[in-house]
Amino acid sequence: MSAPAFPFSAIVGHDQLRLALILCSVRPEIGGVLIRGEKGTAKSTAVRALAAVLTEVDAGARLVELPIGATEDRVVGSLDLQKVLRDGEHAFSPGLLARAHGGVLYVDEVNLLHDHLVDIMLDAAAMGRVHIERDGISHSHESRFVLIGTMNPEEGELRPQLLDRFGLTVDVHASRDVAVRSEVIRQRLAYEADPAGFAALHAGQDSELAARIAAARARVAAVVLPDAELNRIAALCAAFDVDGMRADLVVARTAVAHAAWRGAEVVEQQDIRVAAELALPHRRRRDPFDDPGLDPAQLDEALAAADPESGPEPEPEPDPPGGGEPSDGSPQSSAPQGTSSSAPRPAAPPSATFRTRALTVPGVGEGNPGRRSRARNRSGAVVGATDAPEQGHGLHLFATVLTAAGNRRLRPQPEDIRRAIRVGREGNLVIFVVDASGSMAARDRMSAVSGAALSLLRDAYQRRDKVAVITFRQDGARELLPPTTSAHIASRRLTRFDTGGTTPLAQGLLAARDVVVRERVRDRTRRPLVVVLTDGRATGGPDPLGRSRSAARRLVAEGAAAVVVDCETSYVRLGLAADLAENLEAPLLQLEQLRADYLAQAVRRAA
C-alpha cells in the first residue's frame, strides 16, 4: 500500500501558492495555476497534497499526471484499434483528459511539454469539454478539472501565448529565513519517519480545509460583483496594458472565488488585489527577455487610480529654473572615459534587436517538433505511409484500409496496419560562440554583435530551440550559459560578459565541440547548429591560426552544422572569417546580412 500524501495543512510557508491552488479548486473556470520555481521548493508536494484534500470534497476526484513524453493519442484518446480489428466496432478509447474529469490534471515540467499538447490541454481547461475529430472519429466528452503545471524557469520558458492561457501564476522560492527552513526540515523528517501517523496528525486540519472549499464552491455562484468593482478590474487591467480580455475575466473570476473563500457575499477591493497579484504578473511579459513579476507599489498606485471615488490627480510641480540642475548647484557628474585595452571590461549595451533571417541545419532530422529545420516527426504533414512502426507517427487510416483491401480482407489485420510518415520542422541545439576579444571590443562593434546575438536568440526562442552561449577571450573560452530553452536567462548572460584581450578562437570552437558531444548523450535526435560571431582573427600562443583550423575540423567531424557571421567592420578587410567558414564547411554571412529584410533592401538599392 502506498504512503499517504504529505498533508496540505503541514506545508510550511508558500502562502500565495496555497491560496492560488485553493481558489482554482473553488472555481476551476479560473484556468488553473502555473507554479514557477527552482528545484526543491515543494511544487509537486503541494499539488499532490491538494489532490488528497479534493478527494474529501468530491469522492470521484483523482490526480492524473500528464507525462512529458505523452503522445496526442494518449492525451485526447483515439480509435480503439483492438475493438476495430477484433470486433469490427468503430470505438473510441478515451485519454488522460477524460480520466481527469472532476479531479486534478498535473503536468510537471510543463515548459518541456510539446506546444501542441499544451494547446489541447489548455483548450480543454477553458471549455470544460474535449472535441476529437481525427482518424474517422467524431467524439466529444466533458473534461472539467483543476489544471496545475509546474516548471523550473532555468530549464526554459513557456511561449507568451501559452503562458497567458494559465489563469494564475505563482513564483515560489526557498525561504532564506533560518527558522522557516528549520521547520521545513522538521516537518519533512517527521513525515518520512511515519507517513501514516504524520498524515493522521494533520487529518483534522485537512478535513476542515476540504469542508471550507466545499462551502465556498456552494457559495461562489451567489457572490455579487458590483459594477463599481467590475469597472475597477477593467481600469486595473488597462493600466497594466495587458493584451486582450482574458486578464480581465480571470481577475474577475478569481476575485469572486476569493470573496466566496473568505465567506463574503460581495466582491471588495481586497479580493481584486489578491486576484491581480496572481493573474497579472505573467501577462505583463510582452517579450521573452522581460523580467516577470508585479511591483506591489505599482499595484497599489493602479488600484488607487482605479478607485471610482478618487478625485483627479494633482498637477505636477513645474521644473525649477536653471535647466534642471541639482538644487544644491553642484555640477552633474560624468562617467570616467576610457579603459585599458588589455583589461577586461563589460560588453557595450546591445544595439536594437531585429527580425533575423532563418538559419537551418541541412538535411532532414528526426528531432522534437519545433520551427527551424526539416524533420520527420509527429507534428509534420503526412507525406507517405510505412509498415515499420519505428519510422511512422500515428495511424495512416487510408493506407491501412487500402492494404487490407489489397490482401482481400474486409476487416484489417495487425499486419495491414500502416503508420503515417510526417515531415515538419524540428527544434535544434543552437550554440552561440561569441568572440569577446580585444579585436572585437570596440564599443560600436560589440554593441552590434550583442544586438545580433540577441536577435538570433529571440529567433531561437520562437523556433523552440535549445540554446547555449560560449564566449572566448584572453586565455580561453567560457561557457556563459549551458544548453537551455530559457531565452530570458540567456539574454541576461549575453549582455553581461567581459571583453578584451587576445583571441583564442580554437578554444571557443573546442568548447562548442564539447557541448555538442555532451548534449548528444542526452538527446541524440536534437541536431546542433553552431553560430560563430567573430572577425576570424586568432591570436595568442604558437600557431593560433593552425590550431583554429584544426579545431574547426574537429567540430565538423562531430556532425555539427555551422554558420559564421563575419563581424569585421574595418575598411580594409582581412577575410579571416572566410577562412574559418571554409574549414567549418559553413556559409559565411556579414553582420548586416542577418537581417530578414536584407535581400529586399539589396533589391531596392539595385533598383
Task: Tell the burial category of 93 from Cβ atoms under 10 Å away from its Cβ (0-12, 13-18, 19+).
Answer: middle
Which segments of 348-473 are extended strands (E)?
Answer: 369-386, 419-426, 429-435, 466-473
Q: What is the rounded CA–CA span in Å between residue 441 and residue 583?
A: 25
CA distance 413 to 396: 14
What phi and psi values does residue 453 have, to the nearest 5 degrees? Answer: -65, -40
Closest CA to 375 of 386, 362, 385, 384: 362
Alpha helices in 331-442 (DSSP H): 397-406
> What is the grid cell recorded at 550?
584544426
Residue 253: all three cell numbers together: 473570476
Contact (CB, 8 A) for 483 and 468:
yes
Distance CA 450, CA 142 (A): 50
Whether 246 sits among the annotated catalytic residues: the reply is yes
E strands of 402-520, at which residues?
419-426, 429-435, 466-473, 476-484, 498-499
Q: Please count the residues of the chain.
A: 607
Catalytic residue among 62, 129, 246, 378: 246
Instruction: Give the C-alpha separation, 367 to 132, whole Å.
Output: 26
Rounded to whole angstroms, the Cα distance separating 362 from 366 reads 12
The C-alpha cell that represents 563 in the structure block: 554558420
- Give the rounded distance of the alpha carbon of 51 from its chain centre: 25
Residue in 101, 32, 50, 17 with CA at minimum distance from that of residue 253: 32
Catalytic residue numbers read: 246
